[in-house]
Amino acid sequence: MSRRYFERSVEFKPPRVRRAAALAILLIIIVGSILLFSVGHIDVGYVAVVVDPVFGSTKAVGDGSYARYFFKPPWASVYKIYVATDSVHMWSEGGQRGEFPAVETLTKDGLEVKVDITVRWRVLPSEVVHLYKRFPALDWREKAIIPIIRETVRNLIVQFDAIETIEKRGVISAMLEEELVSAFKEEPSIKGAIILEGIDLRRIALPDAFVKAIEAKLAAEQLAIAAEYNRTRMLVLANATATSQIIEAQGLATSRLIIANATRRAIEIIASEEGVDVGEVTNLYLYLETLREVAERGGTIIVVSGEESLILPLQTR
């Protein structure tokens, strides 16, 4: 009897208690669901676009400066838009590429080049709703920004010859940034919503054949400069040698002239003091000078006196 009573007492529950418990559980589920779908969250650098299909409203939440939670209708959709600095890398090298390939374009003289570039921009927080309405799929990067970059690069590079893309790279980079600022402002679909922050023009790749031709030309110019330098150096050395020889000859001539004048004056003084003819003294001087030179060379001298001749060897010490 006790077992049957226990089983009946366990199975018995008042109808009101069961209904209250079911309602409480249902209420908790509904409130939890509402809270779950009514609270949104965005991180730093994002703005939330809340789209309410019931009341037909679209609004922005936040400005990207800090993270925050916000309330919204449970049925509303939330699109998170990045408003901090964004960028795109367009390059190609060695069979590899960035997010997008390098921009292929032609120069003024018809040479094909590849432009490697990085472009940085940001979305203006106050314009995210308008940008979303123009691009509901959030694809303004692919449909607007990338085509604008390609078109601007091509329109600018075609104004320069191939060799100028090397010589005027800094000028091209500055002009390209100015042109992109104008292009972003003039494009109706993103007008006022996209702000250009800067570009990096990393490389303007010329064809290998053209680069080799430039290198060969530079090598030839270097050889020509070296040859001109050597020629100028030889001329300078030759002129210096000639000038040195002229100066030496002039000095020797001046020295001899001074010696001759001094000798002439000495002969005149001797002749005057001895009361002899100047010519006789001069002949004697020349005779003695000849003997001195012969002695210095280690030669011989022939002395003629009457019918006999004497050969006297003269030796230098």
Q: What is the pLDDT of residues 247-274, one digit of tens each?
A: 877 777 787 777 777 777 777 777 777 6
Domain residue ranges of the chain, discontinuous segments joined by + = 2-82, 87-206, 215-313
Q: In this prediction, what percent of the chain has a pLDDT beyond 90?
A: 40
Q: What is the pLDDT of residues 135-180, one digit of tens each?
A: 999 999 999 999 999 999 999 999 999 889 988 999 999 999 999 9
CATH architecture of the region 87-206: 2-Layer Sandwich (3.30)
Average pLDDT, stretch 102-125?
93
Say what the pLDDT of residue 33 is.
66
**Predicted TM-score (pTM) of this structure:** 0.61
Higher pLDDT, 95 or 8: 95
Residue 78 confidence (pLDDT) above 80 = yes
Residue 48 confidence (pLDDT) above 70 = yes
DSSP per residue, the chain: -HHHHHHHHHH---HHHHHHHHHHHHHHHHHHHHHHHHEEEE-TTEEEEEEETTTTEEEEE--SSS-EEEE--TT-EEEEEE-S-EEEEE-EETTEE-SBPPEEEE-TTS-EEEEEEEEEEEE-GGGHHHHHHH-TTS-HIIIIIHHHHHHHHHHHHTTS-TTHHHHTHHHHHHHHHHHHHHHHHH-TTTTTTEEEEEEEEEEEEPPHHHHHHHHHHHHHHHHHHHHHHHHHHHHHHHHHHHHHHHHHHHHHHHHHHHHHHHHHHHHHHHHHHHT--HHHHHHHHHHHHHHHHHHHHT-EEEEEETTEEEEEE----
